[in-house]
Amino acid sequence: MKRIDDKIIEEIREKNDIVEVISNYLPLTKKGKNYVCLCPFHNDSNPSLTISQEKQIYKCFSCDAGGNVITFVQDYEKISFLEALNKLAQNIGLDLELDNNQNNSNSKYNQLSEYYQLNEEANTLFQYLLNEAGNDLTTTYLKNRKIDNDIQTKFQIGYSSSNNVLTNLLKSKNYDLNKAVEIGLLKIKDNEYYDNFQNRITYPIIDLNNKVTGFTCRTITNEEPKFLNSIESKIFNKSSLLYNVNNAKDSIRKSKTVYILEGPNDVIAFNKAKVDNVVCIMGTAFTTEHINVLRQLNVTDIILGFDGDEAGRKATYNAFNTLSKYKFNIRYLDFKDNDPDDYLNKYGYDEFNKVLSYSKSAIEFKIDYEFSLINTNNFTEKKQLVQKLVAELNKVLDNFDKEYYYNYLASISGISFELIESYSSQQRSDYTPNKKNITRKKVVLNDIENASLNILYFMMKDIKYFKVFNTEVQTFLNPYYRKLYNVIAAYYLNSNVFNLADLDKLKIENNIIAALMKISLNYQYDDEVADEVFMDSISTLKTEKYYLDLAQKEEELINISDPLEKAKKSSEILELTMKLNEAKHKKFNK
């Protein structure tokens, strides 16, 4: 395997600004000198990932993920170090001259290549069969759905017939048929292999890396279920997959907006209406894995376009509840009692585009949905729901928004705006916040801990502080801080500038690197006070050490009876006392 020179690795890291690279994956917010965002490495609802442009590192203060630009790409995309390095090298126009085997040496795609290859074979065959079939069932289906050749090609739509063509093809090419069973392409009955998908239109599920992970297949013979998905396997997990993400990813990244629908034909309907940034979920609720895919595409705005029937409205309600935990702007499209595909076919492009031009907010949807669940002819039910919704609307801080939603609630409920506003005012006047619920605990470090952390921060900032520490103190009393100090000392053996982003070169435990990153990002001082803070911290450590030494010597003095030894010990105590006083007042000498 070709070894990449350390100087080339350093060049790649230095020329790929970490803020610029991470912003291609996640939306960042400036906070002081640093940037913050939701952490993609755990289920994060408040921004806990901090990115330092100055230090070229990132650190999550919740899950302790951290590293430099290379480790971020490696961990975020779940690829090998070489693959991440190669990606970043391409950003700066550098060719690492890696062969395919080397570039994918640790890739999950390489490890599972035969499974993906089986799906590719099936996908190619299904597309061929659709073009060759020409039977009444497929022709009628395509005509009714208005699926032309261009759409077939773009979405790689195919057809799985009923005569075990796939099984025979895979046999002829000497594939391991048991692996085809593992991913749901084939089934076994009476010790015979046969095609799992039969008499169905096939829609391949292709991931962000353009790999066919599986299929969703629609019946054309009214056989149940209507849609049949690939089974859960090593390469197919419907809770992390989004249909059409391979076609839509560039448009989504550019617009930072995604339309999320329920079925592949709905996605195709949007594409007919010239909307490209659209995907659909695979018959499952939203999951953390879906959220991570959206973050990877830099999504800030989500527009839901689920079916307008009862099941679709319930799915929308649940999606709002899940997505509201994250920092997305969420809206929805109201297709009444239709799904998007039916709506387009029934009402045409003009009406379809009108729905697209007016997306509703989560609050409007909640009002609509909750009113659909009650008997609106029952005044008591209606009154109780309005009171409940007003209580929730009182949490909306913007007065303009409140007025808009009060008017919307009035139009849906038939209760006047004036009465709703009056009831709202009464509720607000009765409300007193529980201060106990908003009090935050502050963690206070003792003087020794704070001084130790300050010193470690300054030593990483400039070698001059490292040298002063070695002259004035030499060591930490706490063994954990000594361990952190030893890493810094080892680094300064070969360099005069400490670079946290370069620590991956050393064989250091991840928890130690994480601790140093945390200190570096948590402790920030202006240059004009840096020296004073550092020397105060040095004095604190020295003072504590002298106090401990004094206590020990005074205890020893009590047990000495010999006058000469006693005088000698008293002299040592006096000298320590003088050093203690000096430590309290010594200033840093530039």
What is the structure's pLDDT at 199? Answer: 92
Rounded to the nearest 10 degrees, the angle between the axes of helix 362-372 and helix 399-413 is: 20
DSSP 247-268: HHHHHHHHHSEEEEESSHHHHH
Q: What length is written for the chain?
A: 590
| Residue the block writes with tokens 């600004």 | 17
d(CA 520, CA 524): 8
CA distance 249 to 255: 10
Name the H helices within 442-526: 447-461, 463-472, 479-492, 510-522
Residue with tokens 């050749």: 149
In the block, tokens 């060591």 appear at 475
| 539-566 pLDDT, tens digit each | 888 777 777 776 777 777 777 777 777 7
How far is Cα 342 from Cα 338, in angstroms, rounded to an integer?
6
Contacts of residue 103, defined as CB under 8 A and 6 or more positions apart, other chains included, come to 82, 83, 86
Locate the DSSP E strands across 319-463. 329-332, 360-361
Instruction: Report residue 433 as tokens.
Output: 């916040």
Higher pLDDT, 222 or 121: 121
CA–CA gap between residue 213 and residue 207 (Å, rounded): 7
Q: Render pLDDT for 188-209 as a digit per residue (tens, 0 to 9).
A: 999 999 999 999 999 999 998 8
pLDDT at position 307 over 80: yes
In tens, the pLDDT along 70-94 reads 989 988 887 878 888 888 888 888 8
CB 155 within 8 A of CB 268: yes
pLDDT tier at 428, thresholds 50, 70, 90 = low
Q: ∠ at Cα 444 (441, 445), nearest 5°?
A: 150
pLDDT digits (tens, 9 = 90+) for 473-525: 877 877 788 888 888 888 888 888 888 777 766 667 777 777 888 888 877 77
Output Rg (C-alpha) for the chain, integer angstroms.
Answer: 33
- Region of residue 394 (phi > 0: left; psi between -120 and 50: alpha; otherwise: beta): alpha
Q: Is the pTM of this model over 0.75?
A: no
Residues 235/119, Cβ–Cβ less than 8 Å: yes
Q: Is pLDDT at 429 greater than 70 in this prediction?
A: no
Q: How many CB atoms lie within 10 A of CB 28?
A: 19
